[in-house]
Amino acid sequence: MCEFCIRHGEGKKWYLQARNYSQDLLSDVRRQEFIAGFFRGSDNLQEGVEGLRKAAQAPAFVRRAISRRVTRQAKKQHFGQVLPLEDVREIFGFVNQIVRVPCVCRHATLGREARYCYGVSMGADRVFGDAIGNLDDSFLFGPNSAGLETLTAEAALEAFAGHEREGLCHTVWTFVTPFIGGVCNCDRSDCLAMRSTVTHDFKVMFRAEYVAEVNPDQCKGCRSCMRLCQFGAMAYSAANQKAFVDQRACYGCGVCRSACSKDAIALHPRAEVAAVAKLW
Q: Which spans of this chain sit near ligand SF4 (rule: CB under 6 A)?
A: 212, 214, 219-225, 228-229, 231, 233-234, 243, 245, 250-256, 259-260, 262, 264-265
C-beta of 50 vs 166, nearer to ligand SF4: 166
Question: Is there a contact between 217 and 59 (Cβ–Cβ < 8 Å)?
Answer: no
C-beta of 35 vs 193, nearer to ligand SF4: 193
- Range list of H helices, 57-179: 60-77, 85-94, 104-110, 127-133, 136-139, 153-165
Return the number of other C-beta atoms located less than 10 Å from residue 158's C-beta: 11
Query: 219-255 burial string, b = 16+ CB within 10 Å, else e?
Result: beeeeebeebbbbebbebeeeeebbbbebebbbbbbb
> What is the smallest separation between the CB atom of 64 and ligand SF4, expressed in angstroms?
24
> What is the smallest separation between the CB atom of 12 and ligand SF4, expressed in angstroms?
21
C-beta of 95 vs 214, nearer to ligand SF4: 214
> What is the smallest separation between the CB atom of 155 and ligand SF4, expressed in angstroms?
25
d(CA 82, CA 85) in angstroms, rounded, equals 10
C-beta of 17 vs 258, nearer to ligand SF4: 258
C-beta of 101 vs 265, nearer to ligand SF4: 265
> What is the smallest separation between the CB atom of 233 and ligand SF4, expressed in angstroms?
4
The rounded Cα 162 to chain-centroid distance in angstroms is 16
C-beta of 31 vs 187, nearer to ligand SF4: 187
Residues near 270 by beta carbon (within 8 Å), at least 6 away in sequence: 207, 208, 209, 210, 211, 252, 276, 277, 279
d(CA 170, CA 186) in angstroms, rounded, equals 6
- In DSSP terms, which residues pair with 171 in a beta bridge? 82, 184
- In DSSP terms, which residues pair with 132 in a beta bridge? none
> What is the smallest separation between the CB atom of 216 and ligand SF4, expressed in angstroms?
8
141 by Cβ neighbours in 10 Å (0-12 / 13-18 / 19+) ranks as: middle
> What is the smallest separation between the CB atom of 93 and ligand SF4, expressed in angstroms?
22
C-beta of 127 vs 255, nearer to ligand SF4: 255
> What is the smallest separation between the CB atom of 250 and ligand SF4, expressed in angstroms?
3
d(CA 224, CA 167) in angstroms, rounded, equals 11
